[in-house]
Amino acid sequence: MVTPPSTLYEFWKISPLDVLVFIVGLTITLTNSIEHGVFAMIGLSLAILLVRIFQAHGSFLARVKVRTMISTPLHSNSLSSDEVKYSEVDFQDSILKDNGRSIFLPLDRKDGSNPKIQLEIPYPGIFIYRMKEGFNYANCFTQLDEMVEVIINCTQRGKPLTFERPGVN
């Protein structure tokens, strides 16, 4: 159960909540008993799982064109075997040969992607939404409310809703 601090730091970078569960469980195990420590870790893990399920959120996506860059090295007799020189012509040929592929990145940029990359928003009225957790009865209202709020704020009615007389459909 005891690990070096460097390992705990690596775990902390991946998932801070799991390290917190580990520290609480280790503390309870050392001060009380093994059974209480195991029960505490199971209870905390279950509570974290339920919070993640009930408070699941998603993100709206936009498209980015990605190209694969393949360049062939030119070997020269004057260069050693470790040195490689790339040709500008080969580099441009590799760009021209690859039409690219589309990938989708979140609009909020909370995934760590490069903020300098220009995202292409889909056609007006088209929204792409990625759910981060499963869509189930426990979190459907949270995700639907989030989607509806963004869609209503980003769109407008094509024809205003008017009635001949108030109170009559």
Report the range of poorest mean pLDDT among 25-34, 36-45, 63-72. 63-72
User: Rounded CA gap, 62 and 107, in Å?
Assistant: 6
Contact between 74 and 85 under an 8 Å Cβ cutoff? The reply is yes
What is the residue-averaged pLDDT of the chain?
79
How high is the pLDDT of residue 46? Answer: 95
pTM beyond 0.95, yes or no: no
- The percent of residues in the chain predicted with pLDDT above 70, rounded, is 78
What count of Cα atoms within 13 Å lies in the side-chain half-sphere of residue 162? Answer: 4
In the three-class reduction of DSSP (H, G, I as helix; E, B as strand; rest coil), residue 101 is classed as strand
With 0-12 / 13-18 / 19 or more C-beta atoms within 10 angstroms meaning exposed / middle / buried, residue 137 is exposed
Question: Which are the contacts of 20, defined by CB distance < 8 A and separation ≥ 6?
Answer: 44
Contact between 35 and 55 under an 8 Å Cβ cutoff? The reply is no
Evaluate if residue 1 carries a pLDDT over 60.
no
How high is the pLDDT of residue 93? Answer: 52
Quote the distance between the C-alpha of residue 68 and its chain's center. Answer: 22
How high is the pLDDT of residue 77? Answer: 54
Give kind and range of the element (H or E) at residue 148: helix 140-154
How high is the pLDDT of residue 7? Answer: 87
